[in-house]
Chains A and B, each alone.
Chain A
Amino acid sequence: MGKHDGGLAGFGRFSEPALLILISLAEGPKHGYAMIEDIEGVAGVTLGPGTLYGAISRLESRGLIEALAPENRRNPYRLTAAGERSLRERLAALSAVARAGERRLARA
């Protein structure tokens, strides 16, 4: 699993929020508030602004997301090509784990 961290090594406790942000941005560019709402709708997880921007700063420093030109005081972000690759890698790893778990449950 460690080899397929999708570039999120070192994110520690922010790895889950970071993954959720990447998933949210996979739909298209969004600003912070829109990400919070989208993540809450998709995953049922409510990210506080401190947690959200802690993850955004890490993702941006890794080049996985980038800021677009501000719109009405709101800064939208979008997924970079590297971010999309990271997200695909991470989701593939998670899917493999989920399938392995389901197979074991089916045999139990």
Chain B
Amino acid sequence: MTWMLKLYPRAWRERYGAEIEEVVSSQRPSLQLAVDLLGGAIDAHIKPQALARRLEAESSGTGGGSDMVSRLLACERRDSGDLSMREAMISGSIAIGAALAIAAAMFLTDDELVKTILLTMSPGFFVLGSQWYLLRGHSLPARLALIAAPMVVLFLIGLAAGLWVTR
């Protein structure tokens, strides 16, 4: 999966490219690895601005501490792959809520295009909550981008399929 390193900014690759390539080469390709690298690439692109804004906003030196303390005191947390009970319950609630909302929409609308789009996007809605928590460790903009991008793709696929069905 070393090809994904091309997503990183050039300056970043010049500095860290060889060593991160060494690490990536030693790991088995997986969706988890792909998400981690994609999130890192997005963060590397926005990092200079994001870091500068945070430093400016946190001139009193606050921030970071409470997030880290709460995580480190939760001794059984893992950095990726596992959801805590609370996270799992929230993710499940979001999935159930999404299913109910989609079912209601399907019942209320007669528009085949809308129904097709909703059905196509439904898998994305169902995993929305779990994806949010699995992407912990990445900056907020990176998490939003990683979740929004697949939803946009699903929407476009649904739109194309819907237009085909209703032509």
Which A residues have a C-beta under 8 Å from some C-beta of B?
1-5, 8-17, 19, 31-33, 36, 44-54, 56-58, 61, 73-75, 93-94, 97-98, 101
Q: Shortest distance in angstroms between B72's beta carbon and chain A's nearest beta carbon?
A: 6
Point out the residues of chain B lying under 8 angstroms from A101, CB to CB: 73
Point out the residues of chain B lying under 8 angstroms from A52, CB to CB: 23
Among B47, B51, B62, point to the contact of A5 (Cβ < 8 A). Answer: B62
State whether A13 and B138 are in contact (beta carbons under 8 Å apart), knowing that A5-B61, A49-B20, A97-B73 are contacts in the complex. yes
Contact across chains for A19 and B16 when beta carbons are under 8 A apart: no
State whether A17 and B38 are in contact (beta carbons under 8 Å apart), knowing that A57-B16, A74-B22 are contacts in the complex. no
CB-CB nearest in chain A for B79: A45
Number of residues in B with C-beta < 8 Å to the partner? 51
A62 to B133, CA, bound (A): 28
- Supply 15 A–B pairs (Cβ within 8 Å), ascending by A: A1-B66, A2-B62, A8-B68, A9-B63, A9-B64, A12-B64, A15-B65, A16-B67, A31-B19, A46-B81, A48-B33, A50-B36, A50-B40, A57-B47, A73-B22
Indicate if B84 sits at the interface (CB-CB under 8 A): no
Query: Which residues between 16 and 38 of chain B lie within 8 Å of chain A, taking CB atoms?
Result: 16, 18-20, 22-24, 26-27, 32-33, 36-38
Indicate if B39 sits at the interface (CB-CB under 8 A): yes
A8 to B18, CA, bound (A): 26
Among B20, B81, B139, point to the contact of A12 (Cβ < 8 A). Answer: B139
Contact across chains for B40 and A51 when beta carbons are under 8 A apart: yes
Main secondary structure of the interface of B (DSSP, over half): helix
Which B residues have a C-beta under 8 Å from some C-beta of A?
12, 15-16, 18-20, 22-24, 26-27, 32-33, 36-41, 43-44, 47, 50-51, 54-55, 58, 60-69, 71-73, 76-81, 136-140
- Besides A49-B33, A51-B40, A101-B73, 9 more A-B contacts (Cβ < 8 Å) are A12-B140, A33-B26, A48-B37, A49-B24, A51-B79, A73-B22, A93-B69, A94-B72, A97-B73
Main secondary structure of the interface of A (DSSP, over half): helix
Contact across chains for B38 and A98 when beta carbons are under 8 A apart: no
Q: Quick one: which of A14, A17, A47 has the most chain B CB within 10 A?
A: A14
